[in-house]
Amino acid sequence: MILGRIRHDQIMIPLTFFMMILLAGISHGEGTDMGAADLPQDYFLEGVGEIERLATNEIVINDRLFILSPSTVFNTPTMKNAPRSWFHEGNIVRYFVNKNREIKSLWLIKKK
């Protein structure tokens, strides 16, 4: 039998290498609208959390108050520049801040 002549490591090493490459591509956001390449250089990932309050120029996420930048962009996984009206208390969001700790980009992850 041909497989009887192939050592276990001759299969597992290339397979492991292939899986590492595949997983590295997935973990860097390939194929999503939320990849790091889509964000300007001055954006920093702050976190993920639940909207507790959303006002005109500020938002509370997980008991933390943030100022919304005048140029805050609201997004969903399928639509950039989504209407702000789609974001409500109880929604789960991912948020990015600028160097002044103002939210610059808000991504809707899960609706309430």
User: pLDDT by residue (tens digit) across 50-78?
Assistant: 999 999 999 999 999 999 999 999 999 89
DSSP category for residue 79: B
The domain that contains 79 carries what CATH number? 2.40.50.320
In-domain check, residue 77? yes
**How confident is the model over 31-53, as a mean pLDDT?**
67
State residue 102's pLDDT score: 94
User: Cα separations (Å) of 60 from 48, 51, 68?
Assistant: 12, 6, 10
What's the average model confidence in pLDDT over 18-26? Answer: 51
The token duo for 74 is: 């609201």
For residue 109, pLDDT over 60 is answered with yes
Cα–Cα dist 26/69, whole Å:
30
Q: How many domains does the chain have?
A: 1
Helices (H) and strands (E) in the chain, counts: 1, 5
Whether residue 22 lies inside any domain: the answer is no
> Containing domain of residue 102, as a range?
37-110
In a domain, 42, yes or no: yes
